[in-house]
Amino acid sequence: MKIYLLIVLAVLLVSCEKVIQLKPADKQDKYVIEGTITNEPGTCSVLISKTKNFDDDNTFNGVSGAVVKIENNGNSITLPETSMGVYKTSAINGTPGQTYRLTATVNGETFTATSTMQDPIPFLDFYLKPKDFDSLRTVAYVKYKDSAEIKNYYWFELFVNDKRQDNYSLANDDFTTGQVINSGVIFQNTTKNRAKDIKRGDKLGVEMHSIDASVYLYLFSLTGAKGSGNNAAPANPISNITGGALGYFSAHTTQRKSLIIP
């Protein structure tokens, strides 16, 4: 079975459970597009690859030779290919409140997506309670002040010693509009290699992204992409990219905090 494989190990949702219908994964190969533009300079990138067999390894299967553009307010920037399947530019960075359009043409096929960059939300603290340290599964906490002005969606990417982890956390403000939030995020060694256990002195990091609804839906739906057990077939996550590709395009703000495990 062909599927875009991204293993999601933990998702934190501070909202009611949502029912999302996933389409069964197609057997044919598909392009996978992962695009981001942030409010930071030098961070606009688009990765293009092809789907792999579900049981294959998770190495990047880059696709070369695509034409990739980002458009905003009548301006268009073409992203150069910096390595196979990786397209990056430092010529632009995003502005909160602005909408960005991605166009990727790959072997005669054209894929598009739009995303609106949300205003940054105050990221107040990132901390660890001593009782929550564990070498296999450590819970740290993010503290932030939700805005009551708009509907907010959050994506927390996690790092151990500056290495991005496969798992991440999501949140929205269905029941926390305008409040100060303290939420746990999980750092864990999901491999059988005990040398990768979390230990005292390790650096834990988190990137807080304010994302739009379509990106939240995509990331949320990834939790069902692998199948739900009982011989259920894997399903494709809900992409905001039109034209038949998998993946996502996200214009979002980024804030970072880190701590050292005492």
Instruction: List pLDDT tens digits, range 65-85.
Output: 999 999 999 999 999 999 999
Sequence spans of domains, the chain: 2-9+28-118+211-255, 123-210
Share above pLDDT 70 across residues of the chain, in percent, rounded to a whole number: 82
pLDDT at 20: 39
Model confidence over 221-232: pLDDT tens digits?
A: 986 655 444 444
Burial of 243 (0-12, 13-18, 19+ CB in 10 A): middle
In DSSP terms, 181 is beta-bridged to 144
pLDDT of residue 164 exceeding 60, the answer is: yes
Distance CA 47, CA 54 (A): 19
Q: What pLDDT is stored for residue 8 in this prediction?
A: 38
Residue 168, pLDDT > 80, answer: yes
Rounded to whole angstroms, the Cα distance separating 54 from 42 reads: 33
- Comparing CA positions, the residue from 76, 250, 67, 87 lying closest to residue 154 is 250
The answer to whether the beta carbons of residues 136 and 161 sit under 8 Å apart is no
| Average confidence score pLDDT of the chain | 86
Instruction: Find the DSSP H helices in the chain.
Output: 213-221
What fold does the segment set 123-210 form as a domain? Answer: Immunoglobulin-like (2.60.40)
Rg (CA), the chain: 19
The mean pLDDT of 226-244, rounded to a whole number, is: 68
Q: Which residues contact 84 (CB under 8 A, 6 or more apart)?
A: 62, 63, 64
% of residues, the chain, pLDDT over 90: 72
